[in-house]
Structure 1
């Protein structure tokens, strides 16, 4: 019996939500709470450091040698509360834990998810700029585009998605991503939009270390499916090829996806942030093609699922996928969190205006400002 016979039935679609006016959207955005917060100072004159209980003695000894007036050190325990807010593992710009600043910070994020806390970005900005919004959304963009924002909000299929969308805009206005409801869904595997056995997946944006997701896609589609994995950064192709070699249903494509065939400057980054440059000089060049041209060149001419995580090139790649979207209606998982921040609205607005019958969902998959994914569920065949 074919493995396909065991594929789970698709979940029932969510009921339609009432349409919102622009006034409704503004009111909802204003009312959205900051869902996660931490304390960095209880008193302006007193620094507080919250640590894992097992690190309490170590932290006490450490700060006694580094501070003339040591901070107050408290263990992170259920129910701990300071000034009416829930604390996390760092305070006043100081971080404590094994392995130095960055591993400690990431561990804090893990605990933050469990405790429903969030980062005080202003307090840690001097320490870890990578996680900070340094260029807030201009308020004028929201004023000028309120009708587009309302249209996009009404296109989202459930209330959680609407709150993520409006919370994402509120974050971009304030720099505080605590306004974005966090999702515990597995990123790129939404409960309504998932890769299925036998699917042909088009995945753009892998980079070294990102092949784990490609392998998950490979396992999900099974022997009857296929994963076309596109990566424009030639500096990582060889290690990717080695990592993916055992996956016989994966085709590694050493090109990027764009609106058309092109060769453009490229910036190779060390932290998964390599990107195509529209202008200026990069430290490399890359070859680009459209998804439409690749699908048309394959004998099967199939595309069942599209995943784009390409550091701001998503709008161009979508423009190069329009014929495939119209003809084949693949499932979608598109990153919408890259700069420029206007893309957060523009990507959804572009897809809505194609009027292809999709139901859209939005999930935010991290306790910081990155990893917001737009999912598209195509109309039933």
Structure 2
């Protein structure tokens, strides 16, 4: 695994300042930041962001995008996450679906979907996880059966973020029975499913904090035309593996805790005389670790920019990043002492309470810690 040291160019730094100024102007003074991917689903914010050319940045100009580099997109995403901006409407489409369409999609698919994604008008979910399958994607039971003009899809997906609000989902399903394919990783395909189609039933899954942004999606004989097959039939496993390099290595894998960390620093600043050496050391440790992980993530972005597919490096970044996030929550929880009031008087208390409830999911989404370490270990022992 190679993580080449990298720094931002003057132009990339200038872009950072531009985005930071934009967010300071558009987000209200009493704005409560989201925790990384916990930003709200806000179509109006997505539309305004798209007008700046900051949605689907890496989409080529011919398809309605800005044709920007992977690292310039990294800079914008980093600032959006640092501010806790409401990015959920466009997030999956922009981060994952657009690169997948560019790499595996047909020209017709690119012409139809990409301009809508870049305009912030077309929102996607991921149809991967299933009941009883966990992070073992090769165990998917959702099937697609060949019919005249397309496929009939039957199965259930779970933890499908914002499926009750989004327009489409890229669904991983089995198009060839495992016994016939001869390999559990063979015979899988990706289909673009219209979430408003007949046979689709979306049911929110209430979380421990009362939020309802993940869903169970039941597909009951849903028809998907041939022109909505993404990539090559039977090559879904290879496509998903390549796609996960975009999902696992970005700033969202270590910036979920930045908002609560900043809020804690404000509390410490207001009571500087009461900050002991242990707390001061913890503050420094968090900052140093976050910067180190950020350098790893930037190295992967540079690699993607050069047309490489650093799937193993991305897996390591995700593992290190989400493990770090959980450790930060526990460190800040210890520093806070006592009970945490989710409706407390300080932003720090409110955000920390939200973190405590949500942090256990961070090492699950995008691949569990065990799966990611297995990927890294196999690469290191070759």
State the TM-score bracket (shorter-chain normalisation).
under 0.3
- Give the number of the structure whose alpha-carbon radius of gyration is greater: 1
- Greater fraction strand: 1
Q: TM-score, normalised by structure 1?
A: 0.24
Q: TM-score, normalised by structure 2?
A: 0.24
